[in-house]
């Protein structure tokens, strides 16, 4: 899984939020299915070159949002997505976080707003 998650240290988005957002997108898009075990905190931190506390915070945020569940025996496991479990405010906060991450990534790539909108519309159409 770590190959699909990256951390951009030059981004204005904190590393834990980059990890949290990317895992959430992977879950909601179906790339990480319910029951899938995530890497250990130590392993993902090593793979991404970040402190274990950074990954721990991302996993904690995901657990609070009901995206994953952690326990000592099974580790951190993806839960079945449940939009009804999240409040409107939580959904709006997640959307804004994803938008911030997209903007930071696009700016880092030197991409203009029209290109971002086109890419977003293309991805939206894929989801239909």
The reported pTM is: 0.68
Q: How many domains does the chain have?
A: 1
| Tens digit of each residue's pLDDT (9 = 90 or more) over 28-39 | 778 899 999 999
The confidence score (pLDDT) of residue 86 equals: 63
CATH number, domain of 98, equals: 1.10.10.10
| Tens digit of each residue's pLDDT (9 = 90 or more) over 113-126 | 999 999 999 988 88
Q: What are the contacts of 73-77 at 24+ separation with CB within 8 A?
A: 74/37, 75/37, 75/38, 75/40, 76/37, 76/38, 76/40, 76/41, 77/35, 77/36, 77/37, 77/38
Q: Find the domain containing 44 and state its range.
A: 2-126
């Amino acid at each position: 899984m770590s190959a699909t998650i990256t951390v951009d240290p030059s981004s204005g988005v904190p590393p834990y939020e980059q990890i949290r957002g990317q895992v959430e997108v992977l879950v909601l898009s179906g790339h990480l299915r319910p029951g899938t075990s995530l890497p250990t905190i130590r392993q993902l931190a090593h793979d991404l070159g970040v402190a274990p506390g950074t990954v721990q915070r991302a996993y904690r945020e995901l657990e609070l949002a009901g995206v994953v569940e952690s326990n000592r025996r099974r580790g951190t496991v993806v839960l079945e997505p449940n939009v009804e479990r999240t409040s409107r405010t939580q959904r709006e906060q997640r959307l804004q976080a994803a938008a911030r991450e997209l903007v930071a990534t696009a700016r880092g790539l030197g991409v203009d707003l029209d290109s971002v909108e086109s890419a977003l519309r293309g991805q939206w159409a894929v989801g239909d």
